[in-house]
């Protein structure tokens, strides 16, 4: 018997038809929540296909929740497998529907011939995000070879442009725009982590993504291992977005009684790019992140020691740097790589998680206690998944590295990957890291992963990427359970592990190893479509930049880092007196703006124009806003276009200010803006700012200005 599943939230409705046999069929993804529920017979009549071009007696639905091959269905399958070359055509039946309120459903069925049980879960949240996942259980008496299992599908109609990401180390989240054609768009990643080049996210829409007007559908797979994303074109022109884990050959072989659980696929269909971003941000905050104590506290400004010291751990210098950091207003001091034995370079020491007595004769407690006495938190770097061949751990247990018998291992960055699927390896790592955390008052872990996975064979020679990924999650979860007050940053050569699966165990993403402010403009814009800014690590680095050699003003570096989890990536002892004074002012400005930057604000990004980017936030009550205008390249046009500020109250008046150390404004080519624009007595209607905007003089390349807007109430004061 056919059943109707209807989920309602966020003012909209999802509808599916669940047949007696076959797969649940998508009907509607953007229905009106308060509209009357259509009659089942009418819905069946609406979706029944009248054509019979191939003269088949039965027309099989194609826009199903989890497409399978065979039985007259010819699209890209989301579920495929076999039992020793049998049971490769699957038809599930006896569907049961369990509803959880109005917004979530669990759909369960069985395949009696193949002896399989399937469960599909979907939920529509108040933030507008749809979450899909799937589970398959082998109820037979012999193994079932699972070759593909997507989390689910989501239909796309009327949208033929796609935006995805490509890149590499230090150049992540580069937007790639494509026109969808007649075939299947497919992207696969086999690096064993979220990856720098094939981040598991995409957006479908019309031309001008993602800042352009018009409906968009964003998709993100919450998984840190091998993955694939597909957009398949059906016979009627509809497209299906699918995403899931990518298995190595023979990797997912289900023994009798075993089950496979897919990662979660997150979908946000919205009126425009800004609404999509807001939906993903709200969902991550409410449903993905899990903060110590149950709620996020203000994100502490931090100093990370890596670029300021690298492997040179001089205790007296580090103490002096901590004192200088506290004087600047920094709230967290993070000691990076190099604190364990043999770690004077990247070729030795990984795996030996004990404190180097040569560098720290009295243990790390001496430095940590000094940092804490200065009023800051202490953070510490680990890379638990990796091992150097030149380490005591590897010399004692070379068999603990992932490897394939008969093949030479492939070191990368002079390191191998530990096989966390072996209980003894995971236990040893937990005990070493736990012992450090028991002795040292650590509030924050920077959890790094500096290489892709190759030769991913376990102790029996089987493919192990899927189990390795879940073993990493399990180790993180165990350490968090043992130390519930500690926050964890996910870092994988920068942004190589920046997905919702990792964020279920972590609290911050190191967005990129590239700290060049110009490069960070586009890197942060890309990842910021899916991650809220308060969990994106954004740092001010030294001059010249260590990745590109560029030199940027402190203002440009500070404004670029301002919106995220703000930090410093330099040696504060190397600053001049004037730099130290200015940096302290930028840190104070960030703290002043932090409630707006990291609150329930509306984010907007105008389409880039003539080398200029405009990004802004408007507070929930629309009384406070900021606009950041960045000139990335030399403009071509003689006059700069207007800067419009949407989402303000149309009938309210606002004043504009230049907060923090922005008084000289030397980055304008032909002199500063009109005095009237930023004069304290000038007032501008919200409608005018949104529709007409304001104009700035032409800016020099690689400069930025931050403008603060306050609704005029007669009591406003601004941060100078």
The CATH number that applies at residue 418 is 3.20.20.70
pLDDT of residue 62: 87
pLDDT of residue 534: 98
DSSP code string of 531-584: S-GGGEEEEEE-SS-TTT-----HHHHHHHHTTSEEEEES-GGGS-HHHHHHHH
Domain boundary, last residue among 594, 627, 656: 594
CATH at residue 664? 2.60.40.1180
The two counts, helices (H) then strands (E), for the chain are: 14, 35
- Let me know: does 667 contact 703? Beta carbons within 8 Å: yes
pLDDT digits (tens, 9 = 90+) for 331-345: 999 999 999 999 999
Identify the band that residue 471 occupies on the pLDDT scale cut at 50, 70 and 90.
very high
pLDDT of residue 30: 87
pLDDT of residue 713: 84
Residues 367 and 464 in one domain: yes
**pLDDT (mean) for 490-512:** 98
Give the closest residue to 414 by CA, choosing from 445, 451, 377, 381: 451
Q: Please check whether residue 295 lies inside any domain of the structure.
A: no
Residues 570 and 666 in one domain: no
CA distance 103 to 10: 10
Identify the band that residue 40 occupies on the pLDDT scale cut at 50, 70 and 90.
confident
pLDDT above 60 for 716: no
Q: Please check whether residue 220 lies inside any domain of the structure.
A: yes
pLDDT digits (tens, 9 = 90+) for 155-209: 999 999 999 999 999 999 999 999 999 999 999 999 999 999 999 999 999 988 8
Give Dmax over CA atoms of the chain in angstroms: 83
pLDDT of residue 156: 96
Mean pLDDT of all residues in the chain? 93
Q: Please check whether residue 718 lies inside any domain of the structure.
A: no
Contacts of 467 (CB under 8 A, 6+ apart): 421, 458
- Percent share of the chain, pLDDT over 90: 85
Q: Please check whether residue 126 lies inside any domain of the structure.
A: yes
Token pair for 198 = 């094939």
Q: Please check whether residue 33 lies inside any domain of the structure.
A: no
Contacts of 183 (CB under 8 A, 6+ apart): 233
How many C-beta neighbours within 10 Å does residue 577 have? 7
pLDDT above 70 for 718: no
Residues 121 and 88 in one domain: yes
Residues 556 and 646 in one domain: no
Residues 313 and 404 in one domain: yes
Domain boundary, last residue among 288, 314, 349: 288
pLDDT digits (tens, 9 = 90+) for 275-309: 999 999 999 999 999 999 999 999 999 999 999 99
pLDDT above 90 for 639: no
Residues 553 and 620 in one domain: no
pLDDT above 50 for 719: no
- Let me know: does 326 contact 375? Beta carbons within 8 Å: yes
- Let me know: does 583 contact 328? Beta carbons within 8 Å: yes
DSSP code string of 707-720: EEEEE--S------
CATH at residue 180? 2.70.98.60
CA distance 176 to 165: 6
pLDDT above 80 for 256: yes
pLDDT digits (tens, 9 = 90+) for 42-53: 666 666 655 555
pLDDT of residue 8: 95
pLDDT digits (tens, 9 = 90+) for 341-365: 999 999 999 999 999 999 999 999 9
Q: Judging by beta carbons within 10 Å of its beta carbon (0-12, 13-18, 19+), is residue 258 exposed, middle or buried? A: middle
pLDDT of residue 717: 44
Q: Please check whether residue 46 lies inside any domain of the structure.
A: no
Residues 586 and 610 in one domain: no
214 or 264: whose pLDDT is higher?
Answer: 264
**pLDDT (mean) for 645-666:** 89
Residues 406 and 277 in one domain: no
Residues 475 and 556 in one domain: yes
Catalytic residues: 448, 513
Token pair for 520 = 């960070």
Domain extent at residue 693: 603-711
Residues 562 and 635 in one domain: no
Identify the band that residue 210 occupies on the pLDDT scale cut at 50, 70 and 90.
confident
Residues 387 and 512 in one domain: yes
pLDDT digits (tens, 9 = 90+) for 375-433: 999 999 999 999 999 999 999 999 999 999 999 988 899 999 999 999 999 999 999 99
The tokens 């093949």 sit on which residue? 407
pLDDT of residue 58: 64
Residues 319 and 369 in one domain: yes
- Let me know: does 71 contact 60? Beta carbons within 8 Å: yes
Domain count of the chain? 3
Q: Please check whether residue 97 lies inside any domain of the structure.
A: no
pLDDT of residue 720: 38
Q: Please check whether residue 58 lies inside any domain of the structure.
A: no
Domain boundary, last residue among 541, 560, 594: 594
pLDDT above 80 for 652: yes
């Amino acid at each position: 018997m056919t059943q109707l599943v209807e989920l309602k939230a966020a003012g909209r409705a999802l509808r599916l038809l669940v047949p007696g046999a076959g797969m649940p069929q998508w009907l509607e993804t953007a229905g009106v929540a308060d509209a009357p529920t259509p009659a089942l017979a009418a819905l069946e009549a609406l979706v029944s296909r009248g054509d019979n071009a191939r003269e088949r007696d039965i027309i099989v639905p194609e826009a199903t929740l989890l497409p399978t091959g065979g039985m007259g269905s010819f699209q890209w399958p989301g579920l495929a497998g076999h039992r020793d070359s049998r049971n490769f055509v699957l038809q599930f039946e006896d569907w049961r529907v369990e509803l959880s309120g109005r917004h979530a459903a669990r759909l369960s069925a069985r395949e009696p011939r193949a002896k399989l049980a399937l469960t599909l879960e979907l939920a529509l949240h108040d933030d507008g995000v749809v979450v899909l996942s799937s589970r398959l259980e082998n109820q037979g008496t012999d193994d079932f070879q699972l070759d593909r299992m997507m989390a689910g599908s989501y239909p796309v109609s009327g949208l033929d442009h796609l935006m995805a990401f490509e890149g590499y180390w230090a150049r992540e989240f580069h937007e790639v725009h494509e026109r969808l054609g007649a075939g299947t768009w497919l992207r696969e990643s086999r690096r064993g982590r979220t990856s720098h080049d094939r981040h598991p996210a995409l957006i479908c829409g019309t031309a001008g993504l993602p800042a352009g007007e018009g409906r968009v559908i964003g998709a993100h797979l919450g998984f840190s291992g091998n993955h694939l994303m597909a957009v398949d074109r059906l016979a009627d022109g509809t497209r299906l977005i699918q995403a899931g884990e990518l298995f190595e050959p023979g990797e997912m072989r289900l023994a009798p009684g075993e089950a496979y659980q897919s990662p979660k696929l997150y979908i946000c269909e919205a009126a425009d790019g800004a609404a999509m971003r807001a939906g993903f941000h709200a969902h991550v905050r409410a449903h993905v992140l899990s903060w110590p104590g149950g709620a996020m506290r203000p994100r502490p400004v931090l100093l990370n020691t890596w670029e300021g010291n690298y492997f040179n751990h001089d205790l007296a210098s580090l103490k002096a740097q901590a004192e200088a950091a506290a004087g600047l207003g920094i709230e967290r001091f993070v000691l990076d790589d190099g604190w364990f034995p043999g770690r004077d370079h990247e070729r030795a020491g990984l795996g030996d998680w004990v404190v180097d007595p040569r560098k720290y004769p009295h243990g790390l407690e001496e430095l940590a206690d000094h940092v804490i006495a200065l009023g800051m938190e202490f953070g510490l770097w680990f890379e638990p998944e990796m091992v150097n061949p030149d380490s005591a751990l590897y010399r004692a247990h070379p068999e603990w590295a992932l490897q394939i018998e008969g093949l030479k291992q492939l070191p990368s960055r002079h390191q191998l990957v530990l096989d966390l699927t072996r209980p003894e390896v995971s236990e040893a790592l937990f005990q070493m890291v736990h012992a450090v955390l028991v002795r040292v008052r650590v509030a924050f872990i920077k959890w790094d992963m500096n290489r892709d996975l190759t030769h991913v064979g376990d102790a029996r020679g089987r493919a192990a990427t899927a189990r390795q990924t879940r073993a990493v999650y399990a180790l993180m979860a165990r350490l968090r359970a043992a130390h519930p007050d500690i926050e964890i940053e996910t870092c994988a050569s920068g942004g190589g592990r920046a997905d919702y699966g990792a964020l279920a165990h972590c609290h911050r993403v190191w967005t990129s190893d590239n700290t060049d402010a110009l490069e960070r403009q586009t890197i942060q814009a890309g990842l910021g479509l899916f991650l809220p800014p308060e969990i994106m690590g954004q740092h001010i680095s030294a001059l010249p930049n260590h990745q590109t050699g560029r030199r940027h003003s402190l203002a440009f570096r500070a404004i670029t880092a301002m919106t995220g989890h703000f930090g410093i990536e330099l040696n504060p002892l190397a600053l001049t007196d004037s730099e130290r004074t200015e940096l302290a002012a930028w840190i104070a400005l960030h703290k002043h703006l932090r409630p707006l930057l990291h609150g329930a604000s509306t984010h907007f990004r105008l389409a880039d124009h003539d080398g200029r980017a405009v990004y802004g936030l408007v507070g929930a009550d629309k009384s406070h806003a900021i606009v950041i205008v960045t000139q990335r390249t030399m403009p071509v046009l003689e006059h700069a276009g207007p800067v419009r500020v949407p989402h303000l109250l149309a009938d309210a008046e606002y004043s504009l200010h230049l907060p923090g150390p922005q008084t000289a404004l030397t980055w304008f080519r032909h002199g500063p803006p009109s005095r009237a624009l930023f004069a304290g007595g000038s007032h501008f209607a919200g409608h005018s700012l949104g529709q007409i905007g304001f104009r700035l003089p032409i800016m020099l390349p690689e400069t930025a200005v931050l403008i603060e807007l306050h609704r005029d109430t007669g009591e406003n004061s601004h941060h100078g």
